[in-house]
Amino acid sequence: MSSESSSQSLARPTEEVTVSVNGEDVTTTVEPRLKLSDFLRDECGKRGVRVGCEHGVCGACTVLVDGRSVKSCLTYAVQVDGSDVVTVEGLASDGDLHPIQDAFHREHALQCGFCTSGFVMATKELLERDPDPDREAIEDGLADNICRCTGYQNIYDAVETAAAELADAERTDGGVSGGADELLHAPSDDLEDRTDGTDGSGGDA
Amino acid sequence: MSEAGVSKDVGVEDDAESEGQSFVGSGLERVEDHRILTGEAEYIHDIAPEGAVHMALARSVHPHAELVDVDTSAAEDHPDCLLTLTADDLKDDYEPMPCGLEGFEEWSLADDRVRFVGEPVVAVVASDRYAAEDLVDLVEIEYEQLDPVTDVQEATEGDTLVHEHAGTNVPDSETLEFGAVDDAFENADNVVETDCEWGRISGVPLETAGVVAQYDTDHDSFHIDSNIQLHTLVDDTVYEPLDYPPEKVNLEVPPDVGGSFGTKIAIHRYCTLSAIASQQLDGTPVKFVEDRVENLQGGDMHCSDREYTVRLAFDDDGTIQGLDTYFADDFGAFPHYPVNQVLKPLSAVTNAYDIDAVRYGYDLVLTNKTAQTAYRGFGVDPHLYALETAVDEAARELGIDPTDFRRVNLIQPDQMPYRLPTHNIYDSGDYPAALDRIEELVDEAEVCEGGLLDPDVVEAKREEGKYRGVSYSVHIEPGVSGSDWTDRQRTETDALEEREREDVDELPEHFRIQLEGDGTVRAFLATDTSGQGHQTLVSQLLADSLGVLPSDIEVDYLPSVEAPTEYGSAASRMAVMLSGATEGAAEKLRENCRQLAAEEVFGCGVEDVAYRDGAVERVDGSERVPLAELADLDAGRNQRLTRVSYDYDHPATKIDDFDEALTSKYPVYPTAAFAANAPIVEVDVTTGEVEILKFYTLRDCGTMLNPTIVEGQAHGGIAQGVGAALMEEFQYDGEGQPKAITLFDYLLPSTKNMPDIEMEHTETPSPFTETGAKGTGEGGMLDAPASVASAITAALEDFDVVADQIPMTPHRVRRRVRDAQADD
Ligand code: FES
Ligand code: FES
């Protein structure tokens, strides 16, 4: 049953990419078919990028690419050549949780936690776009992420808590640790203009 | 041994400590969260030992076919191929997988015949998953198609057999009778008969199954990391097919598992195959991660798929005299391990109603679909749905308000503890008060001006074709399974009459604690966890009973070879079993610490030593020794006093009233948490769409050990119940092809479908458990489907439509409304 395999693999096509991952440049050679999710997890060690479906529905793999949330399972690593990618590992600073992470903790907005990275990143984008979302805006903003454990109630609370926290920080000193400053002054690109299947339709894979 | 990093960031810790309050009962923030939120948690997908290679599976594309030829030569010729495996490769050295019923042979790769779409036929191994999937494409399988058996009717009336040697597609059925059923039906003023269907659904945790297996050539043994659920109970499903003794096959679970809800109990196929592959590759670690399509179509993880007929006998004043239920459960291609979920409803057979006479019958049916596993509720959820549907029909038949009909039949508080005709016992609760309260809540907030059920609004909405309705009902969550009732279907039922109480295998909860030299208390669970917050719970309980801080406690999981066979984290057990086990273990440790200090430090009698506030001291308070020091003192001793293990007996085994159920192998669930629900729905009769406007619920799970976690469990359960009631279903077409193989087709509730939940709690302590806690891991999933369906029935009363099939999809609603209108 063991096959006579040569140790040499068939030459698979590869391309070089340079990606900034949480502020650090990574240059490496990848197969064009390598998903961004696998690139981040396996090549960059960013295991906080979770993979729940690999077809664009669950949102567990959500990361920010140039400030916009993207489903990394629907994106190839070669597509983000030259881009800035932020994963959940890029949020806490000096061991302090980012206000969004802290709010998820305090509001018990996670149980098994497998969806959590994705929700935290989607929340980050949502609050950049709309620092004071009402309930409906939260529901819309997080509609591309599935949580199977929490029933969402505490996630809504966490987003509201995080928004209040960030607004407070903004009022008092224009920023808090954990990147809130950068969060509140993120580039306001036209978010309608998306090509990555994360436009709220649940993806196009 | 897997070790979980525990965050020191524990919010309420300082408050509780400074005020001398207990941690139990507080909403202590979870110790699991920090590592998850920062991306540091290690799930099975993240475990990647040096040099690990990857397995992928070629799966059947047909529901039923002979395997004429399985050709792996092209795959083997590929330079990336490390190994291919077929059933032929397994049969010399390994064994088939065990089934839930005797007499079925299922190999982890299909042998001769495939019986469901997605059944694994060939395993291939390559250096990475991408390459492994390339190899799958090169496998050539020649099939000769057979007629598929695609539903219960075909299975029971047609000629095709899923397993020819079995001679039937119904390998298990039983009709049980409790009380004078025939009399009840003869004498009652009325009898209604209701048919209803519960669609094939499952837990669909966000994390799929995964395994990293390594064969140890030096010791001829296996180490298997997997997110399998109940690894200390179902390890036989892995070591038996490997044909090794249990001590040679070590199953270990990661501290973080991305949800299971029962479904990962049956992922032994993957564990077995990865282990075999590693053995064939001389110990190279082999990793397998199921992808979502594999998970949905052929992951052995569908759950109950039932057709019910329920008869109720009741008098003109509404009193129910008898209940007669029958269902056929479409189990798929093999009667897998959780066959016993057809029996669990016996533990809550009358729900919250006082009914003396019950007939309970079922057929377990085989078809060409993927096999079943367990899912939160373990078969009770469809039963409650079917029973409540019949109750609605009965009330309609009598022309009385369904809430009044329900109220008349509720078990009264003075009947507690209440013994069901099926021998299980409800421990405590005031169901009529719960029903009154939920009605009052909705009345005050919604049946008034500006409320969702403001009569003017309801009327105006009707003009637009939108029908609002609410239904008030009380539901039982049987909690804390134990003992050996689960193998009833593999037991000679005649022999059960002879069985003595001492023959019962009681399966206590095993738990260990040890003190470390740095003062840390390390605790070990003999089971796994998948998001329920067990580390937090154990930290709270031990902090209180040992007088330390939750952050001083580390909680780990024992691997299968070190743990006894025990039931584990299922069946709403852990709040009760862990609290009992930690109390017992902590008491033993406190005594040991006193003995140690008496002998090694104070040189006095044990009676002169007290354990106080996380240290031992002389009773007069003159000398004090902290725990860290005790651990050091103990290090040199032969018989270690600072390491204790404890087995907590299942509560039912200590109460004589349960003996009859225990010896006759009827399901025993000694806690009855309960909920009174009132979902408010709006049904658009034009589009068929159902929207839940708000979900009111009053819940009682006895003493709440951690109210925050209790609330989270209820939220999540209700969300799954809403999915079951309205959206989720694994449908198959008439040819046996699965129609839901992606999350585009198997619809999970999102933020767009979840209503606001208005929740209130009461606490009626259980008299049967150590802390008064009752099991509460399954609640919402058990009661929300029945409640939502009943609210739809209420909304469509004018059409005389009954929500007799769930999920109640728009199409199904429209069809029923249309048919009703055509009848008029
Ligand atoms: S993994 Fe589910 S959307 Fe990417
Ligand atoms: S916490 Fe488990 S999926 Fe969200």
- pLDDT tens for residues B277-308? 999 999 999 999 999 999 999 999 999 999 99
A66 within some domain? yes
What is the three-class DSSP state of B442?
helix
Say whether both A108 and A163 belong to one domain.
Answer: yes
Query: What gap in Å lies between CA B154 and CA B307, rounded to an integer?
Result: 14
Ligand 1 atom at minimum distance from A74 CA: 4
Phi and psi at residue A33, to the nearest 5°: -85, 0
- Is A200 in CB contact (< 8 Å) with chain B? no
Q: Which two tokens stand for residue B652?
A: 């039912």
- Give the model's pLDDT for residue B493: 84
Q: What φ, ψ does residue A75 adopt, rounded to 5°?
A: -120, 140
Contact, B102 vs B164, CB < 8 A?
no
Q: Is A60 touching B (CB cutoff 8 A)?
A: yes
Give the C-alpha separation, B389 to B512, whole Å.
Answer: 46
Whether residues A70 and A48 share a domain: the answer is yes
Q: What ranges in chain A are assigned the alpha helix state H?
A: 36-38, 99-106, 116-129, 135-141, 153-173, 180-184
The answer on A131 and A69 residing in a single domain is no
Pull the structure tokens for residue A89.
């590992």
**pLDDT for position B574:** 86
Report the pLDDT value the prediction gives residue B1, as an integer from 0 to 100.
38
Q: Which of the residue ranges A82-96, B478-492, B754-768, B809-823 would you say has the lowest mean pLDDT?
A: B478-492
**Distance, CA of A101 to CA of A156 (rounded, Å):** 13
Residues of chain A contacting B80 with CB distance shorter than 8 Å = 5, 9-10
| Residue A94 in domain | no
Ligand nearest to the CA of A38: 1
Domain contains A111: yes
Looking at residue B296, what is its pLDDT? 98
pLDDT given for residue A174 in this prediction = 56
pLDDT of residue B29: 87
d(C-alpha B166, C-alpha B102), whole Å: 10
pLDDT score of B222: 98
**Section B177-200 average pLDDT:** 98
Residue B337 confidence (pLDDT):
80
Sign of CA dihedral B771, B774, B776, B780: negative
Q: Does B92 touch chain A (CB under 8 A)?
A: no
pLDDT-based confidence at residue B8 (cuts at 50, 70, 90): very low
Q: Region B219-231: what's the mean pLDDT?
A: 97
On whether residue A184 sits in a domain, the answer given is: yes
Least confident of B324-328, B622-626, B691-695: B622-626
Q: Is residue A200 part of a domain?
A: no
**Is a pLDDT exceeding 80 seen at residue A202?**
no
Domains and CATH numbers, chain B: 15-30+507-649 (3.30.365.10), 432-481+669-762+770-794 (3.30.365.10)
Chain A contact set for B84 (CB, 8 A): 1, 3
Q: Which chain A residue lies closest to B530 (C-alpha atoms)?
A: A112
A181 pLDDT exceeds 70?
A: no
pLDDT bin (cut points 50, 70, 90) of residue B10 is very low
CB atoms B36 and A6 under 8 Å: no
Residues A108, A71 within the same domain? no
Q: Is A189 a residue whose pLDDT tops 50? A: no
Give the residues across from B212 on adjacent strands.
B225, B287
In a domain, A18, yes or no: yes
**At residue A95, does pLDDT exceed 90?**
no
Segment B733-754 mean pLDDT: 97
Q: Which residues pair with B473 in a beta bridge?
A: B677
The confidence score (pLDDT) of residue B575 equals 85
pLDDT tens sequence across B264-276: 999 999 999 999 9
- Mutate which of B206, B281, B744 to test chain A, going by most A C-beta atoms within 10 A? B206
Do A110 and A167 have their domain in common? Answer: yes
Per-residue pLDDT reduced to its tens digit, B98-135: 999 999 999 999 999 999 999 999 999 999 999 999 99
Q: Which domain holds residue A111?
A: 99-195
- The percentage of chain A sitting over the pLDDT mark of 70, rounded to a whole number, equals 79
**Could you tell me if A115 and A82 lie in one domain?**
no
Report the C-alpha gap between A121 and A131 in whole angstroms.
14
Question: CA of B530 to nearest chain A CA: how many angstroms apart?
Answer: 6
Q: Which residues contact B597 (CB under 8 A, 6 or more apart)?
A: B609, B616, B625, B630
pLDDT of B2 strictly over 50:
no
Query: Ligand 2: residues whose CB is within 6 Å?
Result: A 110-115, 147-150; B 206, 259, 531
Instruction: Reply yes or no on whether the pLDDT at A180 is more than 80.
Output: no
The number of folded domains in chain A is: 2
Q: How confident is the model at residue B507 (pLDDT cuts 50, 70, 90)?
A: confident
Which residue of B37, B280, B756 is in closest CB contact with A104? Answer: B37
| Interatomic CA distance for residues B472 and B677, integer angstroms | 6
Same domain, A191 and A154: yes
Give pLDDT, residue B567: 82
A107 and A186 in a single domain? The answer is yes
Element containing residue B436 per DSSP (H, E): helix B431-445
Are A111 and B712 in contact (CB < 8 Å)? yes
Contact B255, B227 (CB under 8 A): no
| Dist CA B766 CA B581 (whole Å) | 16
Look up the CATH number of the domain holding residue A165.
1.10.150.120
Answer whether 0.90 is exceeded by the pTM: yes
- Tell me what the pLDDT averaged over chain B comes to: 94
What is the tens place of the pLDDT at every residue in B546-581? Answer: 999 999 999 999 999 999 888 888 888 888 999 999
- Between the two ends of chain B, the Cα-to-Cα distance in Å is 68
Whether residue A145 is found in the same domain as residue A173: yes
Closest chain A residue to B256, measured at CA: A112
- Residue A80 near residue A65, CB atoms below 8 Å: yes
Instruction: Give the pLDDT score at B20.
Output: 60
Pocket test for ligand 2, best of B206, B263, B750 (most atoms within 8 A of CB): B206
Selected residue of B35, B36, B535 to mutate for chain A interface (largest A Cβ count, 10 A): B36
Provide the β-strand partners of residue B196.
B308
Put simply, the chain B residues between 246 and 305 with a CB less than 8 A from any chain A CB are: 256-259, 261, 280-281, 291-293
Most confident by average pLDDT, A131-135, B23-27, B500-504: A131-135
Confidence class of residue B457 from pLDDT cuts 50, 70 and 90? Answer: very high
Residue type at B255 in one-letter notation: P
Domain co-membership, A62 together with A118: no
Side by side, the strands of the sheet bearing B615-618 are: B609-612, B615-618, B624-626
